[in-house]
Each structure stands twice: as structure tokens, then as C-alpha cells.
Amino acid sequence: MTTDISLIRNFCIVAHIDHGKSTLADRMLELTHTVDQRTMRAQYLDRMDLERERGITIKAQAVRLFHEGYELNLIDTPGHVDFTYEVSRSLAACEGAILLVDAAQGLEAQTLANYHLARDAGLTIVPALNKIDLPAAEPDKRADELAHLLDTDPDRILRVSAKTGEGVPELLKAVIDRVDPPTGDPDAPLQALIFDSAFDTYRGVITYVRVKQGTLSSNARIRMFATRITSEAEEAGVMAPEATPVDSLGPGEVGYLVTGLKDVHQAKVGDTITLAGKSGASEPLPGYLEPKPMVWSGLFPAEGGDYSELREALDKLKLSDSALVYEPETSQALGFGFRVGFLGLLHMDIVRERLEREFGLELIATAPNVEFHVFKGDTETVVHNPAEMPPGGDYDRVEEPVVYATIITPAEYLGAIFELCQARRGEMVDMEYLTPERVEVHYVLPLAEIVFDFFDQLKSKTRGFASLDYEPYGFQESKLVRVDVLLHGEPVDAFSSVVHRDKAYQYGKQMTERLKELIPRQLFDVAVQASIGSKVIARETVKAKRKDVLAKCYGGDITRKRKLLETQKKGKERMRRVGRVDVPQEAFIAALRVDEGAKKR
Amino acid sequence: MNAGIYVHIPFCLTRCGYCDFNAYAGLDGLKPSYLEALLSEADLAAPAWDGQSFVSVFLGGGTPTTVAPADLRALLTRLRDRFELDDRAEVTIEANPDTVTDASLTALLDAGYSRISLGAQSFDTSVLAALERIHQPDSVRAAVAAARRAGYRNLSLDLIYGARGETLESWRRTLDEALALAPDHVSAYALTIEPATSLGRKVASGESPAPDPDLQADMFMAACEALAEAGYRHYEISNWARPGFECLHNLGYWERRPYVGLGAGAHSYRDDVRWWNVRPPETYIEMLARRQLPIGGSESLEPSDAYLEEVFLKLRILEGVPSSWFDAERYERYVQSGLLTDDLGTLVPTERGMLLLNELVLGLTG
């Protein structure tokens, strides 16, 4: 039984993290009796444990609600800058978007960026202020701010408390009234947009789809446009909110499809599903992009022997994570591992955490780096690993990726933001006062400057008030150099880094000082040096050890002493050897640790 | 092989800040029953050692001299009755300078305790305070004089270096003061911070700094120099003696000779088996009151354990270990870098090598 198309509304919620999107979704599930009180739990739609713990949504989800005769498809969007592309595909599955803004905190950069995406996609915007029950809420002020942005009347902005449920019925009514129903010919050749995909151990690849035109039946023989894979579909259905099979999905409908495929790379987000054979559509839906890693890091098993386990784990993870790419890498210092590409720092963190948590692996990760394009004569080399960058001078120029960053901040912190962006090699594009107190600033910044502690710095310099969003903005030439770190004259590839020439000295000094503290004293003086090519730019010395434990050793001490030696022997076996220097893996982990926080977006 | 007898006396006047031995202040009420238990244990343990000759007795603690000389005499008499103790056996008693008098020293020597080891630790008042010792340098001088007056011909001083605030100069003065008393034997220990001690807690909490290993290395070298100059032979990492005054009993541990340990927490060893008594004095007393051997645990050494012990114990003393036990590549680097000497196929650590003994053992045994 398919619903009359004029009674369908497809919408999503655009909100900043913590502004209450998941809580609002919970209230909608309750209000529409989609989930009964007994089975209700907080943040119902956030399935993965990891998501629930971090309070963010990684995978978009679609849930069908029935309300006053209407079929409402709520499409959840990821709330993180790493997943902008996934957001854009979710938006493409909707006709409308609730723009949800915290009535105390006001508009944030992330929301603004996604609002722009939604507006550009032609979606009807239903603005709403959340958390009006909070004592700190300033609904009138925030309504003015939003109205100004949207060029609308403040009266059109709804006011809700997702926590108490106040205003949620009115919001649903506004969605029904203001958002257009979808259109589409059920008899036209099938075009269904994949806006998310997941991997299920038992059922294989499950795609979440929005049918644009034509009809997708449960047992259709389907074809993917981008990958040209054909397959027998196994089941079509809707999330209500648990998976419920249906005979077919018609135009405007949102649901899932068990594809019969075994690898998510065969059914990519943004791709179009049509029917195999002559009855299929001749054109895909617009807007498909290959997922493109932005950040790279070497992942190595802490125990050398776990390499094959790491490979198996990555292979398994790849089945459910279409954005994950990796290639084998051999490090002199860390042994066999992989150079892994991620959409961003959060993605990197999630992958690492899943590898450790779900597969029980202990990992050493090198500092994240971006991709560099190295030009020499007519050849261009793409470098994902700083250790592969040619040494100083052996190329004509290097390009690095830059991003277009949007920062929203209270005006009083503008100075601090200028200073920070300046120090991070940023170039201001423009700025605009949203209200007399709040400013939107745009910068072009090297991505490499953001992947470290930029976000932390931004938050600490603005007492947490500024927000950041960014999108890729191509590549630009930069004065970059490779800084190597040497122990006792031996370069440690895992510590090589590509940094701007002006920051090379600072980086070298920081690394040598850090390593001086981390490397245990050896039987000889160990020089810790940083160099560009053959030129040493920083040096520290780990002085030779002169004395180890000299405890007395009489009758009662001997057993204890022997056990201590055995423990030390095991510790020594776990050490990595760089030339003549023994380095415990803890030292690698600590030296490579990036300041926390860049990921807590 | 000649064996030794160790007797543990767990009583102390106070706990010192660095000491994590099985020792207790304020348990004096247990003394009579503890001594009774020691005599019973000698009775019960001796049959297993039938046919074994013993060449040394060592009364350690704790502070053995907190026990009345008459009781200590009875104890030694019982040991002689039960064990085949050589007439010329070395019999050592550890003493705290504040716990001895002319009369007690005379009585102890007469009872057969012919070697005395005095816990001097330092001659610097502030270092003694940092170690949480209650005696003063003058007590040490007085105790040595009293011991000599009583007729002691074999006297050892214990010293500790590297306590908070101690400088190299202060340590050199302590060495000079100690040598001025002309002891026959000197033990000098680098202060080791044990977690379950008053100092250990202070270091863990940051209240007190951990000893500086480089300064302790300098102090060790200063000790080697001063003691060698004064004619003492460096025969174990932390022990020096005038020729002929090496501690026979302690050499037994390092040479892996058998020993029987009597008293709470005391360890025994024979033929690659080590066992130890229960630690709490009360439990020890109760078990012996029931005529039970108070054994708390044991271990049988695997050949690999025995090998490791052999290496690290024999490297502590001048006896050294045969180079044929190791691949040449394992020890040659240490010979070249001056941590070991290869004396006709015997590897002995140099003074620098003694400081890095753990490193040497790990490097040699891999």
C-alpha cells in the first residue's frame, strides 16, 4: 500500500551538535506514536554505541512517521564537518528542512553551512528555536537573528522545547503546511538516490534510498550507475522505525533496500539505483561524488605480529565504511602497517576507535597529515606520507589543500580570531555582521593547519563561543619542507612531517624537546635532532645512563630481583630499535599524540 | 657446600623512612613468644638439614639488639645444638647504634656474636633526618668505641647515600668520618625508594624528590675511590672489606650456597628450591605454637631461572661469570665500552659496569 504522493513530506533537521536534534526526533517519534513509551529510549535513532556515546550521528537514518493522515519521512543528517557530502546527499532526498537553533546559543557555523546547503538544494526551510525552556534562552533575540538571516518574519519562526515537547505538534504542522509534497511519475524509468548505506553481517549491503521517479519493487533486478554493478534486490522496506518490508517504494518515498550486494563500495552514497536492462533510466541523478580522503595517518599494530589482524580488521571495516581507503606501508621504526585515508579527524578517530574496540587491536598512529602535490618538471606526484616527500630542494614546487572556513563568533573575539587565523597562514575572504554582536568571518586556510589543534585553539580563545565549519577549496602552492627527526643520526620515518618553512624550526624544537623527555637513557649519549635535508635545525641530547637499580640483594631479595629483571627483559623485547637506540612504544605513542579536541566538533 | 643460617628479628624502636623490610615498631609485647617460636622453628627445621655443615649465622632485622643479650645467647646455643655449626663460624649481629652499651656488647661477644654490623647510614645530621633515622652521628662513634672496648675484632658499618639534600661533598665527609672509625667492613647502599615506605609515599606524592641517579653514580664512584685508598677491597657492588673481612654469610647468597632462614618472612634456599616463612610475626608465632613449620610459600627454579640468578648474583661479586656462557657478540661490546673486564675467560664488571648491572644482565642474557 503506497501513500498518495500529495500526503508525503520528506524533511530533515539541520542543527548544530548539542542543539537538540536527536531529542527533537525522539519527541516526534513519541508524538506520532511511531515508538511506544515502553520501547522508547533517549536518542532512539542513533543506533551505533559509538554514536550514542559521542552524542553525534554518523550514519544518516530515515524514519517514517504517520501524523494526521500524512506520511512524514524524517531523514537524519550527520552533524559533522567531515561528512558534508553525506549531508548534501541526505538533503537531496528531502523537500524541506527544519533549521533548528538553540535559543540560548544562537546560530553556529555548522548550522549555517548546512542551511546554505539546504537552501542551495532548493529545500523549504522551516526555522525553529529549541530549548525555549532554558533560563538562558533568548528566543526574541534569536528569532530576530534568524529572521534576518532567512529574510523572513520573526513570527514565522517556531519555538519548541524538544525536552518537554512544547511546540513540537505545531512544528509538525508547519512541516506539513509549508513543505511541498514530492513529485514524480511512478511509471517513469526508476531513479532512486542512495543517501546512505550500511553493511549488515547477515543481509549484506543495505542502502537507504529516496525514489525520485519510477517504482522500486522488492525483488527488482537493479543496477548502480556509478559502479555499474547489477544485483537482485532482496527486500524493500521502510523504517517505522524498525525495518518493515513493503512490496515497493513509489516516487517521493523513502526507505531501505537490501541490495544483495556484499560490499558497500558497490553501492555508494550519492549514486543512483535504476533497473537493470532496457527498462532502466538512461541518466543518473546529479551530484554524485567519489568520497575523497582529506586526512592521512599511518596505522601500525603496537605488537608487530598483529599486522595480519589489522589488515583483516580494515578489510571488514571497509565493508561498512565506503569512505575508508588504505594502502600497506612499511615504516623502519614501526614495522608493517597501513597508510589510511579519512574524510577528516572525526572519521579518523572513529575508525581508530572501532579498530581498537571492535577488533581488540592496540595501535600506534602517526600524526595526521594532508595530501601534498609535488611538482618537478612535467611530473606531479601525490604524497600521502611525509616520509615519501622528496628531501628539501628536490622539486620545483609543492601544493597543499586549502579549505574555505566559516567562523561565527561574538564580535568581541574577532581580534583573537584574526590572530589565530593569521598564525595559521589563513587569508581572510570577507566578514559580515549577522547582528551587531555576532559576526560571520570567512577564511581560506591550509587544511594542514586545521587538522592539528585549530578547533581547540579557536574554542579556548573565544571561551567556547566561536563555531567553525569548512569545505575543501582546492590546492595552493606553499613553501613547505619536510622535517626529519633523527635519533643518534638515524632518521625515524614515523616522525617526519611536512610543515611550512616558517614553522619548521618550531616543529623541530618541539619534537626534539618532547623526545628528549620520552626516550629512556641508553648506555651512550643519544643525539635527538631535527633536520631539513642535511641541515640540522634543532638538537637535544639524552644523556647516557650511568646507574640503574642498585638495590641490595640478600637472601630475601633474590626472587623479587629476578622477577624484576624478567619484567625488564619483556619490556626490552617490546621496544623498537632505531639504529642503536631502543625506543619503547609508549614513547612513539606519546610523541605522536595530537592534542585532543580537533575532533570534538 | 657450606651453608648459612639467617635469623630474622622483626622488632625495631621506630620505622625508618626508607625501610620496607619485615620489621615493626611497637610489637615489643610479642618478643617472649617470638623468641620461643624461633627456638621451636630451629627444632623443627633442623632435621631436614641433617648432614649439612654451616659456616655462618646472621641475625638481621629489624633490630636484633632490641632483644636482651641473654635471649640472644640462648638462641645461638640452640642453633649450635640443632645445626652442624662450625666452631669458627662467622656469627654476625646487626645493631642499631642507640641499642648497644658496653655491657650488652660484652655479653654478645661472650655469647658468640663475634661480628657486629652497625647501621651508621650517615654522619650528616640532615641526611639522617631525611632518612627518618633517630640516632645522631655521635651515637655511631660511641657505639664503635664501645664495640672495640668490648673486644670486637670484626666490625662493619652500613652507609646509605643519595637521600634528599645530600650533596657529593657531604657524602665524602660521611665516608671520611666512617673511615676515621677504622671499620673492618663497609656496606654502602644507594638509597632505593620503595613504594610501601614513608619515603616512597612522599616521593609518589611529590612531597620529596626521587634520588638523582647521576648524583648517586657520582657518590658510588666517590665511595669506590675513598675506600680503595683506605685499603678496602671492593668485593660486591655495595660491600667493601679489609682483606680477610669479607662477609662470609652474605657471600653465600651471591655464590648461591644453601641457607636456612628462621623467623618471620625469612627465606631459605637449597638445590634450586627457595621457600619462605609467613611474614606477620603473629601468624609465625601461632603456627609454631602448633608445632607447624611456618612456611608461607615456595618456588622451584626452572633451569632458566637458576641461570638468570647465577648470572646476576655472580656478577655482583668479584667471582664473575665465565665468558663461555655467552655469545661473544653479547659481552664484547661491554668489554670494549669498559663495563666488563674479561680476565682469562671470566667476566667481571668494572665500577662503571656495577652501576649498570641490570643493563649488563639483560644484555648478556638477552
B169 and B317 housed in the same domain: no
Nearest to A568 among B217, B316, B358 (CB): B358
Question: Does B283 fall in a domain?
Answer: no
Q: What pLDDT is stored for residue A80 in this prediction?
A: 67
Question: Does B277 fall in a domain?
Answer: no
Question: Does B274 fall in a domain?
Answer: no
Question: Does A287 fall in a domain?
Answer: no
Question: Does B27 fall in a domain?
Answer: yes
A12 and A152 housed in the same domain: yes
A118 and A146 housed in the same domain: yes
Indicate which CATH number applies to the domain containing A510. 3.30.70.2570
Question: Does A30 fall in a domain?
Answer: yes
A555 and A435 housed in the same domain: no
Separation CA B339–CA B350 (nearest Å): 5
Taking a C-beta distance cutoff of 8 angstroms, is the pair A452, A598 a contact? Answer: yes
A412 and A544 housed in the same domain: no
A198 and A166 housed in the same domain: no
A162 and A31 housed in the same domain: yes
Query: A565 to chain B: which residues are within 8 Å by CB?
Result: 308, 312, 358, 361-362
A528 and A400 housed in the same domain: no
Cβ under 8 Å to A: B residues 6-65: 6, 60
Question: Best mutation site among B58, B358, B364 for testing chain A: the one with the most A CBs within 10 Å?
Answer: B358
How many domains would you assign to chain B? 2
Cα A468 from chain centre: 14
Question: Best mutation site among A542, A547, A553, A582 for testing chain B: the one with the most B CBs within 10 Å?
Answer: A547
Is B362 in the A-facing interface, judged by CB distances under 8 Å? yes
B318 and B236 housed in the same domain: no
Question: Does A382 fall in a domain?
Answer: no
Q: Which chain A residue is nearest to residue B6, measuring alpha carbons? A: A555
**Residue numbers of the domain that contains B347:** 304-365
Cβ–Cβ gap B355/A553 under 8 Å:
no
B36 and B139 housed in the same domain: yes
Cβ–Cβ gap B261/A555 under 8 Å:
yes
B245 and B314 housed in the same domain: no
Indicate which CATH number applies to the domain containing B79. 3.20.20.70
Question: Does B109 fall in a domain?
Answer: yes
B30 and B154 housed in the same domain: yes
Q: What pLDDT is stored for residue A286 in this prediction?
A: 87
A419 and A546 housed in the same domain: no
Query: B192 to chain A: which residues are within 8 Å by CB?
Result: 549-552
Among candidate residues A150, A178, A206, the one where a domain is terminated: A178
Question: Does A135 fall in a domain?
Answer: yes
A34 and A171 housed in the same domain: yes
Q: How many CB pairs under 8 A join A and B?
A: 93
The verdict on pTM exceeding 0.90 is: no
Interface residues from chain A to B (CB-CB < 8 Å): 523-524, 543, 545-556, 558-559, 561-562, 565-566, 568-569, 572
Question: Does B266 fall in a domain?
Answer: no
Is B237 in the A-facing interface, judged by CB distances under 8 Å? yes
Q: What digits encode the pLDDT tens for the residues B127-161?
A: 999 999 989 999 999 999 999 999 999 999 999 99
Q: What pLDDT is stored for residue A81 in this prediction?
A: 65
Question: Does A283 fall in a domain?
Answer: no
B190 and B322 housed in the same domain: no
Is B264 in the A-facing interface, judged by CB distances under 8 Å? no
User: What's the gap in Å between the CA of A555 and the closest CA on chain B?
Assistant: 6
Indicate which CATH number applies to the domain containing A234. 2.40.30.10
A474 and A515 housed in the same domain: no
Is B161 in the A-facing interface, judged by CB distances under 8 Å? no
Q: Which chain B residue is nearest to residue A569, measuring alpha carbons? A: B362
Query: B359 to chain A: which residues are within 8 Å by CB?
Result: 523, 545, 548
B351 and B225 housed in the same domain: no
Cβ–Cβ gap B267/A549 under 8 Å:
no
Among candidate residues B237, B254, B271, the one where a domain is terminated: B254
Nearest to A568 among B217, B266, B362 (CB): B362
User: What's the gap in Å between the CA of A296 and the closest CA on chain B?
Assistant: 38
Query: A569 to chain B: which residues are within 8 Å by CB?
Result: 362, 365-366
B226 and B332 housed in the same domain: no
B308 and B235 housed in the same domain: no
**Residue numbers of the domain that contains A515:** 481-592
How many domains would you assign to chain A? 5
Is B188 in the A-facing interface, judged by CB distances under 8 Å? no
Per-block mean pLDDT, blocks of 10 residues, chain B (366 long): 95 90 92 97 97 97 94 97 96 95 97 97 95 92 97 98 96 98 97 92 93 96 98 97 97 97 97 96 97 96 95 93 94 94 94 94 91
Q: What pLDDT is stored for residue A51 in this prediction?
A: 44
Cβ–Cβ gap A549/B358 under 8 Å:
yes
Indicate which CATH number applies to the domain containing A129. 3.40.50.300
B144 and B233 housed in the same domain: yes
- The Cβ-side half-sphere exposure at A424, using a 13 Å CA radius, reads 26
Q: What pLDDT is stored for residue A44 in this prediction?
A: 66
Question: Does A183 fall in a domain?
Answer: no
Separation CA A63–CA A521 (nearest Å): 59
Cβ–Cβ gap A559/B267 under 8 Å:
yes
Is B255 in the A-facing interface, judged by CB distances under 8 Å? no
Q: What pLDDT is stored for residue A116 in this prediction?
A: 86
**Eight-state DSSP code of residue A175:** H
Question: Does B272 fall in a domain?
Answer: no
Nearest to A552 among B189, B259, B309 (CB): B189
Residue B108 has φ and ψ, to the nearest 5°, of: -65, -45
Among candidate residues A317, A347, A365, the one where a domain is terminated: A365
Question: Does A22 fall in a domain?
Answer: yes
Q: What pLDDT is stored for residue A596 in this prediction?
A: 37
Q: Which residues pair with A408 in a beta bridge?
A: A440, A467
Q: What pLDDT is stored for residue A55 in this prediction?
A: 42
Nearest to A545 among B6, B259, B356 (CB): B356
User: What's the gap in Å between the CA of A561 and the closest CA on chain B?
Assistant: 9
- Pairing label, strands B11-12, B24-25: parallel
Among candidate residues B213, B234, B254, the one where a domain is terminated: B254
Among candidate residues B192, B226, B254, the one where a domain is terminated: B254
A319 and A268 housed in the same domain: no
A537 and A413 housed in the same domain: no
Is B299 in the A-facing interface, judged by CB distances under 8 Å? yes
Is B189 in the A-facing interface, judged by CB distances under 8 Å? yes
Question: Does A412 fall in a domain?
Answer: yes
Question: Does B245 fall in a domain?
Answer: yes
B191 and B130 housed in the same domain: yes
B181 and B312 housed in the same domain: no
Separation CA B11–CA B15 (nearest Å): 10
Per-block mean pLDDT, blocks of 10 residues, chain A (601 long): 84 85 88 76 58 43 88 82 79 94 87 86 94 92 89 93 94 96 94 87 87 93 92 90 88 92 86 92 86 89 83 85 88 90 87 89 90 92 90 85 93 95 95 88 94 84 86 92 93 90 91 92 94 94 89 88 91 84 84 50 32
User: What's the gap in Å between the CA of B279 and the closest CA on chain A?
Assistant: 11
Three-class DSSP labels, chain B: CCEEEEEEECEECCCCCCCCCCCEECCHHHHHHHHHHHHHHHHHHHHHHCCCEEEEEEEEECCHHHCCHHHHHHHHHHHHHHCEEEEEEEEEEEECHHHCCHHHHHHHHHHCCCEEEEEEECCCHHHHHHCCCCCCHHHHHHHHHHHHHHCCCCEEEEEEECCCCCCHHHHHHHHHHHHHCCCCEEEEEECCCCCCCHHHHHHHHCCCCCCCHHHHHHHHHHHHHHHHHCCCEEEECCEEECCCCCCHHHHHHHCCCCEEEECCCCEEEECCEEEEECCCHHHHHHHHHCCCCCEEEEEECCHHHHHHHHHHHHCCECCCEEHHHCCHHHHHHHHHCCCEEEECCEEEECHHHHHCHHHHHHHHHC
